[in-house]
Amino acid sequence: MKSIYDRILLKLSGEALMGEQNYGIDGDVVKFIAGEIKEALETGVTIGIVVGGGNIFRGVSESAKDMDRVSADYMGMLATVINSLALQNALENIGVPTRVQTSIEMRQIAEPYIRRRAMRHLEKNRVVIFGAGTGNPYFTTDTTATLRASEINAQVVLKATKVDGVYTADPKKDKNALKYDKISYLDVLNKNLKVMDSTAISMCMDNKIPIIVFDLYGKGNLKKILSGEKIGTIVED
């Protein structure tokens, strides 16, 4: 089965890596995600990945409330690098070649982010994991995902979450919440739906990159999306 996309950007939240834990990284969950990515690669797609850091530290979290926002955001960026290295290790353990590139230079553990180098790795079928956000405070990893997707010419952003799509309300709190199969960028912004932050949505809208929100833990979901199955919610014009 061949993928309907040539190149995708996979956005993983930090929370996704902690599974049912309250904090940190669940090794079994990371192995599962790595397995899903390996299956996806077999369809011929090339993959860039942006990982959040919320399982370790968030710049806007309660624990950061007395901190300078800029310092707190940099701490959050460093948390994304820890997650990137954990995912890299899990992927390479099952034979998937990867590179981690970071927006903040830390040459002992990763390459600095250079677009041309990232493109070259993707052409060689390596998975490129982008860490440390954009390298700037006040920008989320959602915005990083749409920025990197635009830079590497990804055809779609796949946002992997703990729910199976976009709902009218939080389905865990409201049993009457209805799921959207498809929704426009403008509706997401106007209804203030928590898909991605407004900067990220606007960037995808400007660059005409669709976003598919799907359940990360559904076995085979990533591969099904690549085969053209209607999984989750698609956000587009």
- Which tens digit of pLDDT belongs to each residue from 195-222? 899 999 999 999 999 999 999 899 999 9
**222: phi then psi, degrees, rounded to nearest 5:** -60, -45
The pLDDT tens digits of the residues spanning 67-109 come to 898 999 999 999 999 999 999 999 999 999 999 999 999 999 9
1: in domain: no
Quote the pLDDT of residue 163.
86
pLDDT at 62: 64
Structurally, how many domains does the chain consist of?
1
Residue 2 belongs to some domain of the structure: no
Please tell me what DSSP assigns to residue 123: H
- Using the 8-state DSSP alphabet, how is residue 62 labeled? G
Check if the beta carbon of residue 7 is closer than 8 Å to that of residue 207. no
Classify residue 111: in a domain, yes or no: yes
**CATH number of the domain that residue 48 is part of:** 3.40.1160.10
Q: Which domain holds residue 175?
A: 7-235
Q: Is residue 36 part of a domain?
A: yes
Note whether 185 and 201 are within 8 A (CB): yes
Asked, for residue 44, whether it belongs to a domain, the answer is yes
Determine contact, residues 75/16, Cβ cutoff 8 Å.
no
CA 182 – CA 165 distance, rounded (Å): 9
CA distance 156 to 17: 22
What pLDDT, on the 0 to 100 scale, is given for residue 60?
Answer: 65
Does residue 91 sit within a domain?
yes
Contacts of 12 (CB under 8 A, 6+ apart): 33, 49, 50, 51, 52, 83, 87, 160, 216
Task: Establish if 209 belongs to a structural domain.
Answer: yes
Two structure tokens written together for 14: 């930090």
Residue 100's pLDDT is: 98
CB 194 within 8 A of CB 46: no
Output the pTM of the full model.
0.94
> Is 103 within 8 Å of 73 (Cβ atoms)?
no
pLDDT at 67: 87
In which residue ranges of the chain is pLDDT below 50? none
Cβ pair 149, 157 in contact under 8 A: yes
Torsion angle of the four alpha carbons 11, 15, 16, 19, in this order, in degrees rounded to the nearest 10? 170
- Between CA 167 and CA 154 the distance in angstroms is 25
Three-class secondary structure of residue 114 per DSSP: coil
213 is a domain residue: yes
What pLDDT is attached to residue 45?
97
